[in-house]
Structure 1
């Protein structure tokens, strides 16, 4: 970020009071697209204004959805420096799918001062298979601590974080692609319909889609881009980190029409989704930057894509980790913050 941008960000805040491999790594332009900087920080809004965040709830009558129940049984997965990560099993009424979900609530959520405040929600998808593990929960990508640090600095909203399993086997060639593949578990319905229902049943949220974002790295980047394009009524913003954009599971064999309907390379050209995305690529991988840039250039309004290239970045969890602060600041600029009726 330039010195001028840093000063502008500081003034605005004062005013408003990875190691691993490729896709399978378990550790792992404005006719619609907006050409972002090829280096530096992607922390401005689409209007070029600095991104700001605050834990202070905005007065926003009718913006809070209180939990509807029934309450899920949550058990602690592990502690972090910013509070515990919990886990549960969610059975979707619409999909029939049962899968493991990790949940993190920002410390502000349980502060009595915020007892009537709704919080924005960020769903996170991991790289690789995410079969019984999640890199967002095992400290490889310590986004929870980074979120709380940025909240204290006034640079980020405090986000409820939802981190679902993505697959039920370790077969990379036959992954579920975060999709409703015929004859398989209806993962897209579970992820984009049942999980939001679970969140609204259990936690205080911001009404509507304005406070809902999705982010993922590598395979999770594919999932976040695809689901945001398929479900713009659910998600307002997405951050695919070093993702790819063509479904490649062997389970699509014989289902060409359904595969096309779940193909981000097609969806981004249809001009149907009013969503914003920060689309990143690692600068050390020319093939990856070519793939990502090409996809960004295909976007048709109202899809709004901003390209960001991480200087020297490789397709590694250690480099995904470095992207966390910038992505949280960007999401804060594009999603509604905490709101109190």
Structure 2
């Protein structure tokens, strides 16, 4: 049974309840002096606490989807998404490895009614990175009246160390996009959903690491090129956007800021604005001051040319730690770039907050991209 299975949660909850009941029933019998009764009491209390901790942890993980599998939890991630060395000039592209219906969308058996989610492997011709992703194709993609027409596309990024499954289940991007189109608030759009951790378990902060993973090249060049070569998506900046939360939000803003000729718009939900440097990232810059400065978005806005890119940033009055930096980012964006914002009265750094921001963010993104 999988880590996020309701059966696992139910078993853990029943075990915790059973051990609690056993503690209450057996405590009078164990309330004697001596080594064995003491050890029995300690063991029973410890087992009850561990079972309760496991049940609460599983419930929290099922809600927030911090980890998608046992392998992910224990650091033995087995999904595709590793850096693979290839000969120079190797071709990039997309391989479809599975198809499924979007969760929670009516008419799921028919792609022309519900759309389709394809699991793919993206191979970067320049970066030599291979990463698993999910591609959501809206119902219109399969309808005869749209045959031959291109669609705008958005790269959707999780936080660290999230999994791409988070974008399908916890954050419900395909379902939300479907609902917004049905309500006439946005146009049909292809979503390319993946984690920014394309070299797990390392967090590369979407930079090209000297001698390491060329993550920025993958997102800025390889990914849109591979998607446009496989699906009916345009190749101009006006056809492409990015959206992400937390680390994914930082990456979305960073890639669009540094590559306005590739992406016309980016939304950073609960984003931060400077590359993290810690045990999860390792040495990202190898002492290169310019690389470190460039990974600071506020520095980039001050020192690098700003293209015709639209940005959306989100924060909250209470609960988020990025409010001051978000205001600084807004203040530094200058024409021809544009900036919009969402500020909640209260909202923490979690899925509940992002699910309040994703619908208007998708509508905003759709309004800044075009199909042709």
- Structures share fold, TM-score greater than 0.5: yes
User: Unpaired runs of 5+ in structure 1?
Assistant: 1-18, 29-68
Measured in 2, the distance between the counterparts of 1:122 and 1:219 equals 17
3-state SS of 2:272 partner = coil
3-state SS of 1:240 partner = strand
Measured in 1, the distance between the counterparts of 2:195 and 2:101 equals 16
Measured in 1, the distance between the counterparts of 2:334 and 2:246 equals 23
Measured in 2, the distance between the counterparts of 1:263 and 1:27 equals 28
**Partner in structure 2 of residue 265 of structure 1:** 298
User: Structure 1 residues 176, 207: CA separation in 2 closer, same or farther (over 3 Å shift)?
Assistant: closer
Measured in 1, the distance between the counterparts of 2:344 and 2:119 equals 32
Q: Of 268, 271, 289, which aligns to 1:243?
A: 271
Measured in 2, the distance between the counterparts of 1:99 and 1:185 equals 12
User: Structure 1 residues 328, 288: CA separation in 2 closer, same or farther (over 3 Å shift)?
Assistant: same
**Partner in structure 1 of residue 166 of structure 2:** 135
Q: Of 190, 201, 210, which aligns to 2:229?
A: 201
Q: Of 147, 153, 156, which aligns to 1:124?
A: 156
**Partner in structure 1 of residue 39 of structure 2:** none
Q: What's the offset of the Cα at 1:314?
A: 1.4
* Kept in 1: contact 2:208–2:217 (CA 8 A): yes
**TM-score with structure 2 length normalisation?**
0.68
User: Structure 1 residues 181, 207: CA separation in 2 closer, same or farther (over 3 Å shift)?
Assistant: closer
User: Structure 1 residues 25, 232: CA separation in 2 closer, same or farther (over 3 Å shift)?
Assistant: farther
* Kept in 2: contact 1:216–1:241 (CA 8 A): yes
Q: What's the offset of the Cα at 1:274?
A: 1.7
User: Structure with the greater relative contact order (CA < 8 A, sep ≥ 6): 1 or 2?
Assistant: 1
**Partner in structure 2 of residue 320 of structure 1:** 354
Q: What's the offset of the Cα at 1:268?
A: 1.9
**Partner in structure 2 of residue 12 of structure 1:** none
**Which one has the bigger helix percentage?**
2
**Partner in structure 1 of residue 251 of structure 2:** 223
3-state SS of 1:197 partner = helix
3-state SS of 1:176 partner = coil
- Report how many aligned residue pairs link the two structures: 273
Deviations 1:97-135 (A, max 9, x none): 1111211100110111111110000101101224x5442
**Partner in structure 2 of residue 108 of structure 1:** 140
**Partner in structure 2 of residue 192 of structure 1:** 220
Measured in 1, the distance between the counterparts of 2:165 and 2:307 equals 28
Q: CA RMSD in A?
A: 2.5
**Partner in structure 2 of residue 50 of structure 1:** none
3-state SS of 2:161 partner = coil
Deviates more, 1:162-171 or 1:116-125: 162-171
User: Structure 1 residues 181, 228: CA separation in 2 closer, same or farther (over 3 Å shift)?
Assistant: same
3-state SS of 1:189 partner = helix
